[in-house]
Amino acid sequence: MDTRKSLEDEVLGWLDESGDTSTTQANVRAAIKQAHIARLTQFDWPFLTWAEPKTLSITPGRRLYTLHSEYWKPLYFRSITRERTLREKPFEKYQPGQDEQDRFVLWNRSPVARQTEYPGGATLTIVSLSALDTGASRGVRIRFEEPSYGSVVTETIVPNGTTPVQATHLFSPGGILQLSKFGVWSGALIVTSSVGVTNIVLEPEENAKSYQQIRLLYEPTEAETIEYLFFRSPNPLNYPEDVPDIPYPHSGILVWDALKLLYAYDGQLDSARLAVIQDNIDRMDTAMRQSFIEGQSLLAETPEIHDIEED
């Protein structure tokens, strides 16, 4: 089983830098993380599929909804209530005022799990689950639209441990543009609004999040449950013991991807090195696609190529 650390050690060995703990190690780490993301965003790899479907509770009159924080790409959206599959419409074909049943578009991203929809505006309150989170060395920085004049305001709130602290300004419905925390936190941060909405929860090691939103192209007239399944975001490999999302032994391809990046960075990617590195990349890439894209069992069906359907 490969880990980020074992992959780093292997790359450092190829560079004759075994045991390095300075700039070279930092560059190797960055190259592995970049290669990991690049490799995983090439295809819809089945091993990135979220384990179980999630659901959205649709309310009458509301079109905009926030998806799971680990959402990366959709697999499907389906109305359980109406037993209908929802179809995605390309954003470039979105037209204001259009009303198309069972259609949606991928909208913008939100810094919070739930925006507040109260029309009169609301205030935010922060609180930590640890009494140790006090003082100006840590804080929550929020950028939002102020409802009275429509101007954008940035406010920093200093926590007071488990005692709630309220922001000074009101913010508009759906108007939280950015929310992040800084400093070293001991407990989870909980952000709520004055209208009883929990906007986001950030664990001690999380500074911020980003949530994909979808916009329904029809006006919901009744309560509805939408089930969706998705491909999750790649593991950022932030810790030495983190295991790559690419299953072993295919994860070894990251060694060659990283070496190619590092030699190019140092101007040492000569034709001999490139030939060896690219040969290993090509062979391992082919094996990955055969295993996970084309199917593995004896009676696996051959993938079909579909024409793009015109709207």
Element (H, E) at 142: strand 139-145
If pLDDT is split at 50, 70 and 90, which confidence band does 120 have?
confident
Give the Cα separation of 244 and 261 in Å (integer).
18
pTM to 2 decimal places: 0.86
Q: Kindly report the length of the chain.
A: 311
pLDDT average, residue stretch 74-100: 93
Q: What is the structure's pLDDT at 80?
A: 97
Extract the tokens encoding 262.
Answer: 């590092």
- 9 burial (CB, 10 Å; 0-12 / 13-18 / 19+) is middle
Q: Which residues contact residue 88 at a Cβ distance below 8 angstroms, ignoring those fewer than 6 apart?
A: 74, 77, 103, 104, 105, 106
Cα–Cα dist 74/31, whole Å: 27
Residue 106 has φ and ψ, to the nearest 5°, of -75, 125
pLDDT digits (tens, 9 = 90+) for 157-206: 999 999 999 999 999 988 999 999 999 999 999 999 998 899 999 999 99
Residue boundaries of the structural domains of the chain: 4-41+237-292, 47-111+212-232, 124-209
Instruction: Name residue 298's amino acid.
Output: L
Instruction: Please tell me what DSSP assigns to residue 122.
Output: B
Q: How far apart are the first and last CA of the chain?
A: 46
Asked whether residue 308 carries a pLDDT value surpassing 60, the answer given is no
- Whether the pLDDT of residue 311 is over 60: the answer is no
Per-residue confidence (pLDDT) for residue 300, from 0 to 100: 76
